[in-house]
Amino acid sequence: MVRGVDGCPAGWIAVTIAAEGPLTPCVTITRNFADLTTGVEKIAVDMPIGLPETAGPGGRGPETLVRPLLGERQSSVFSVPSRAAVFAADYGEACRIALATSDPPRKVSKQAFFLFPKIRELDALLQAEPALVGRVHEVHPELAFWRLNGERPVPLPKKVSSRGHPPGLALRRDMLVGAGFPQSFLADPPRGAGLDDLLDAAVNALVARRLHAGTAQPFPDPPRRDAHGLPVAIWA
């Protein structure tokens, strides 16, 4: 079994599928990422892994490699600031530290700041349990859909003005059905997650299949390592 994971309002949403053959998907909601690390060979999670001491133009590096592939969807890939900024106590401090540890100087977006608790949770787990580093991989849903769409950007947005965009969600759902997911499985998200979260976790699970098969591609290739030895790459 392999697992695709995405952050959601209730914590984490995970879609687990067979590594080979029919997908046979199931969905789980949990508060703690550690709950998702058993029973599967590979985990593909939409959350930054590997934090820089200083951030360059566009973030750590992987972000600048995948954005050009996504066309109008490239704004969904936010720039990851320095480790010190991610571990700041509040938004003001995060911005001050990010300005001092980036070149050119760049503050932290609110979107990125709200993800910091989950980034810290994942970072702490991987440092505490190094054996997980070979099983847990960073992915990005829009890059995963790019791969599923024949390495072409998805033409419609998933959200407009922070709200779900029905045509874009329907297009992604149809792509997943074409990849083997039952239509009924993708009809309604579980309580604590949105439809976009469910679709993202599902497409991440397909990257986890590729990781298991050895056919997934890292950006950059080979992955870099941060100061703590964690890989810095987005897989697809």
pLDDT tens by residue, 68-94: 999 989 989 999 999 999 999 999 999
∠ CA 117-120-121, nearest 5°, is: 85
Cβ atoms 72, 153 nearer than 8 A? yes
- Rounded percentage of the chain residues whose pLDDT exceeds 90: 92
6 forms bridges with which residues in the sheet?
A: 13
Q: Choose among 60, 61, 51, 54: nearest CA to 86.
A: 51
Burial class (CB in 10 A: 0-12, 13-18, 19+), 162: exposed
With b for 16 or more beta-carbon neighbours within 10 A and e for fewer, the 177-200 pattern comes to eeeebeeebbeebeeebbbbbbbb
Domain ranges of the chain: 2-49+137-213
Q: What is the DSSP letter of 141?
A: H
Residue 181 pLDDT greater than 90, yes or no: yes
Residue 82 has a pLDDT of 96
Which pLDDT score, from 0 to 100, does residue 17 have? 98
Kindly report the pTM of this predicted structure. Answer: 0.96
Above pLDDT 70, what percent of the chain? Answer: 100
Distance CA 220, CA 151 (A): 16
Average pLDDT, the chain: 96
Q: Tokens for 92?
A: 């003001």
Residues 6 or more apart whose Cβ sits within 8 Å of residue 118: 7, 12, 33, 47
Q: DSSP class of residue 3?
A: E
Q: With cut-offs at 50, 70 and 90, classify the pLDDT of residue 59.
A: confident
pLDDT of residue 159: 86
Give residue 164's pLDDT band: very low, low, confident or very high (50, 70, 90). confident
* Exposure letters 3-41 (e unless 16+ CB within 10 A, then b): bbbbbbeebbbbbbbeeeeebebebebbeebbebbeebe
Q: How confident is the model at residue 120 (pLDDT cuts 50, 70, 90)?
A: very high
Residue 163: strand, helix, or coil? strand
**C-alpha to C-alpha distance for 221 and 229, rounded to whole angstroms:** 16
